[in-house]
């Protein structure tokens, strides 16, 4: 066990560096003064290089070789860690440390340029930075290596084993079926005025209510917190330190609430991972498609249900007295109202995947050379109009709305739709295994569902690939039809 123990110590040391990076990244998105951005970029770049050199050192390779030669039983924590280390080392070793540092420095600067560009709705201000990011991302894909499609190298980082051709085929099958739901679902929603819940919702009251719901779901606030940022996210800074963020609109309490529920789903996954193996593959998330299944499940299947509002409206009315004038059915109907809109994070469940399909197509073109950055707004606006029928009014509500490209997250977006599919399938399996689950949820008892997810998903870390995890959790590989059934039942009934 000595080589294994030495290797564990080395990767735990590397994880401490990543943890420090995460703290600085969280601070960058929440409290960092504008003039401190350049120095923060230097800090993050140095740490990225230090982490990369530690992970790719000759001693790391020798330790992995020694452990593989010794061998471990396939279904053990040690074997899980070893498989993960081999994958992580093989990928990292293909990238020069100088390149890793440059990419880190660029993404740090890009997040601030993006935030300012988004505020100004000024793509021209962001364009040079995005051009540099796309160029670096193409270089990264080429360094990692690919066969059929350059974009495959990027997909594989977020969803190991995924391939562009497979995702494209899935989306080609899904898109027309989603589009067919939009018209009838929008018509069903027409009886609910768009401004039904319009009012004044003080931010302090939103913060209190959001925390109350997230805590009831099971999020541990002794090991986490919620802060404010331009773009909601969740990040894990350590085994007992998970941070959530959201943004607020005083005229719409649902925006921050569902932002928190989405990020709390991520946070529950992070808090449910094996803490004794934190920083090692056995204590790490399986994939982004699995991670997003947790956020989409708690946000939509639980928080977006009528049963949720039957239970929570009285408490919401304490925080927002104006809501006392409405029934749970009215609030639930307003929350699930279907109407094509511009902003992905605020999109209804029916049209949401159309936003993802758009981004997936755009990213493919950008990375594979079929679209230049200068032509991005026009390409975005044209395709968005084809998918939704809406004309994009400005860059803020168009191609500048998401932060992902600023941290070079090309390959990430499709995992939201994979998450939707996985979430619907997981909920179906949870109901099958626990016939009383809906009664528990209706009474605000979320522990049975959380415990099921902990045992079926969270506890396994990277023991299996995402398809294997879904098969073990539900009995089947991921299927799109369960999600379509869920949408039809919820929005067309």
Which amino acids are annotated catalytic? 263
Segments in 297-402 forming alpha helices (H): 306-319, 328-335, 349-368, 376-388
Q: In this structure, is the dihedral angle defined by the CA atoms of residues 391, 394, 400 and 401, taken in order, positive or negative?
A: negative
* Two tokens, residue 11: 């990767």
**Which residues have CB under 8 Å from 76's CB, separation 6+?**
none
The strand order across the sheet containing 241-246 reads 224-228, 241-246, 234-238
Coil vs helix vs strand at 401: coil
Would you say 165 and 148 are in contact if contact means Cβ atoms under 8 Å apart?
yes
Residue 300 to residue 298: CA distance in whole angstroms = 6
Segments in 56-96 forming alpha helices (H): 58-70, 77-92
Q: What is the number of alpha carbons within 13 Å of residue 69 lying toward its C-beta?
A: 8
* Two tokens, residue 432: 């099958």
Q: Which of 405, 425, 87, 402 is nearest to 289 (CA)?
A: 425
* Burial class of residue 54 (count of CB atoms within 10 Å of its CB; 0-12, 13-18, 19+): middle
Pairing of strands 241-246, 224-228: parallel
Q: Phi and psi (nearest 5°) for 249?
A: -130, 125
Residue 445 gets the label, from left (phi > 0), alpha (psi -120 to 50) or beta, of beta
Say how many Å lie between the first and final Cα of the chain, rounded: 59
């Amino acid at each position: 066990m000595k080589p294994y123990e030495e290797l564990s110590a080395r990767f735990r040391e590397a994880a401490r560096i990543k943890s420090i990076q995460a703290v600085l990244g969280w601070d960058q998105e929440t409290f960092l003064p504008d003039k401190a951005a350049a120095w923060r970029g230097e800090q993050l770049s140095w740490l990225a290089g230090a982490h990369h050199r530690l992970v790719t050192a000759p001693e790391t390779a020798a330790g992995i070789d020694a452990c593989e030669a010794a061998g471990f039983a396939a279904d053990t924590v040690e074997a899980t860690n070893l498989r993960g280390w081999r994958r992580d080392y093989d990928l990292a070793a293909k990238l020069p440390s100088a390149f890793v540092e440059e990419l880190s420095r660029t993404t740090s600067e890009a997040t601030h340029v993006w935030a300012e560009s988004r505020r100004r709705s000024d793509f021209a201000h962001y364009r040079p930075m995005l051009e540099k990011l796309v160029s670096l991302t193409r270089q990264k894909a080429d360094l990692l290596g690919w066969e059929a499609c350059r974009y495959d190298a990027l997909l594989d980082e977020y969803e190991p084993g995924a391939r562009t051709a497979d995702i494209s085929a899935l989306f080609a099958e899904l898109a027309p079926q989603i589009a067919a739901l939009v018209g009838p679902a929008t018509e069903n929603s027409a009886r609910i005025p768009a401004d039904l819940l319009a009012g004044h919702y003080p931010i302090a009251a939103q913060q209190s209510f959001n925390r109350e719901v997230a805590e009831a779901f099971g999020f541990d606030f002794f090991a986490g917190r919620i802060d404010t940022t331009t773009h909601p996210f969740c990040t894990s800074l350590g085994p007992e330190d998970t941070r959530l963020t959201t943004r607020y609109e005083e005229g719409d309490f649902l925006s921050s609430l569902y932002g928190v529920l989405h990020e709390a789903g991520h946070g529950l996954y992070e808090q449910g991972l094996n803490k004794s193996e934190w920083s090692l593959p056995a204590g790490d998330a399986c994939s982004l498609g699995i991670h997003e299944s947790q956020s989409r499940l708690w946000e939509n299947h639980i928080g977006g249900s009528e049963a949720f509002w039957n239970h929570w409206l009285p408490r919401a009315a304490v925080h927002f007295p104006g809501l006392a004038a409405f029934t749970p059915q009215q609030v639930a109907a307003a929350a699930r109202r279907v109407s094509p809109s511009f902003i992905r994070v605020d999109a209804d469940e029916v049209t949401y995947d159309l936003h993802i399909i758009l981004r997936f197509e755009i990213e493919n073109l950008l990375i594979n050379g079929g679209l230049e950055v200068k032509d991005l707004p026009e390409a975005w606006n044209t395709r968005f109009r084809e998918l939704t029928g809406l004309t994009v009014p400005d860059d803020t509500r168009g191609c500048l709305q998401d932060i992902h490209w600023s941290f070079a997250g090309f390959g990430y977006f499709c995992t939201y739709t994979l998450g939707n599919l996985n979430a619907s399938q997981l909920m179906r399996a949870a109901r099958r295994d626990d016939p009383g689950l809906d009664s528990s949820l209706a009474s605000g008892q979320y522990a049975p569902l959380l415990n099921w997810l902990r045992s079926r998903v969270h506890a396994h870390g990277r023991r299996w690939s995402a398809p294997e995890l879904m098969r073990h959790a539900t009995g089947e590989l991921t299927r799109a039809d369960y999600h379509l059934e869920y949408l039809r039942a919820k929005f067309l009934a």
